[in-house]
Amino acid sequence: MRTAPPARRRLLTAAAAALLAATALLTTAPAHAATATTTAATTTAAGTPAFADGFGLTVVGDPEVHSPTDFTLTVTTPQLSGTHKIRILLPAGYADSPTKRWPVTYFLHGGMGNPDDVSAAPALHDDSMITVAPDGGLKGWYANWAMQNTALGAANWRTFHLDQVIPFIDANLRTRADRAHRAVTGLSMGGYGALRYAEDRPDLFGHTAVLSGGIDFDMGVIRAAVLATELNLTGAMCAASTSTVPGTGACTGFGPVVDSDAIFGSPYPVLGADHIWTEVNPASLSSLSRLAGTDITLYTGNVGPIDFFTEGASNTVKARLDQLGIPSRYVDYTNGASLSPTCDGSHTYRCWAPAYADYVPRLRAAFDAAG
């Protein structure tokens, strides 16, 4: 990691201090057209579908089987250093209906999270759809990083998800491989990914839902949150959030420290230095305009120093969607009382689990209406 000059170090220190004072943000608690071509016709010894390598992905070892309809693959790809997991939830009737095809929902976890976070939202294991939870990294930010020579090595998360995982799933499972039957949803850092992916590839996703998302890069505190993940400033974040899956009591951190410009380049709006941040800001009017014809849902609370800011970002996105004449559904559950007795309005699965319990039946109805 290169050393910043004194003036820049002061800016970094100020940004980090402001972030930690606000208890940070966005940690979690707990050109292809994807078509279904060849579907794996065999199963593993555990009764789960067998997956063939393809689209740049190589399956490593046997699946980790949680149940016949809940299993995790480990894959490698030149786009990312190391091995990465993809957790897959099948509907109960998948094996018994060998000619039926199913809609697919992609779940994107938040910072410090992993694919197993999907288990903290039981509604996502729904018998009307396949749910896929791919690894997004402790701080991947669902982006192809500006720097590929950090301690983490290759970090092309966008390519991994959009150009590899999706066609890999469509080729190996019986999916409905069209935008009307494909959704992307995520929370916190994954909320950014879900909205950004829906904007970036409206040909892939007809539905998106964002929960407590860091979805406005014009907000200094959200840029500071990204910096904090790059610099692994976990202290206040771990205190403000829960572990990836409730009850584990762990805080994983964000992994090795990388350069503050590693993901989106310079965050400072000086002479256009922050042009990548501007280009990938999901709250910009140009980005949001790409969501015409997409089913959009936003959820957030406003209790605590994290969702206080996600509410502000969600308000901005909703107002701009309205300005563009693009319909959306916005659920600001404030202190949580209107959502569920378990929800306290915080940045945790105490609210996200019931939010998904509210969302999934609506998504199921939308999939059904698409035919």
Contacts of range 356-361, beta carbons closer than 8 Å, 24 or more positions apart:
356/121, 356/123, 356/124, 356/185, 356/211, 357/121, 357/122, 357/123, 358/299, 358/331, 359/123, 359/185, 359/209, 359/297, 359/299, 360/123, 360/124, 360/126
Q: What is the pLDDT of residue 13?
A: 44
Here the CATH number for the domain that contains residue 330 is: 3.40.50.1820
Q: pLDDT tens, position by position, for the chain (371 residues)?
A: 444 444 444 444 444 444 443 334 444 445 333 333 444 447 777 789 999 999 999 999 999 999 999 999 999 999 999 999 999 999 999 999 999 999 999 999 999 999 999 999 999 999 999 999 999 999 999 999 999 999 999 999 999 999 999 999 999 999 999 999 999 999 999 999 999 999 999 999 999 999 999 999 999 999 999 999 999 886 545 654 443 444 444 566 899 999 999 999 999 999 999 999 999 999 999 999 999 999 999 999 999 989 999 999 999 999 999 999 999 999 999 999 999 999 999 999 999 999 999 999 999 999 999 99
* 350: in domain: yes
Q: What is the pLDDT of residue 42?
A: 75
The residue segments making up the domain with residue 133 are 6-369
Residue 278 CA, distance from chain mean position: 19
Q: What is the pLDDT of residue 253?
A: 86
* 157: in domain: yes
* 336: in domain: yes
Q: What is the pLDDT of residue 237?
A: 56
Task: Provide the whole-model pTM.
Answer: 0.89
Sequence-ordered list of residues with C-beta below 8 angstroms from that of 72, at least 6 positions apart, any chain? 63, 64, 66, 85, 86, 87, 88, 115, 116
CA–CA gap between residue 314 and residue 192 (Å, rounded): 11
* 130: in domain: yes
CA–CA gap between residue 342 and residue 155 (Å, rounded): 37
Number of domains in the chain: 1
Tokens 């966005």 — which residue?
A: 26
* 1: in domain: no
Q: At what angle do helices 220-230 and 304-324 cross, to 10 degrees?
A: 130
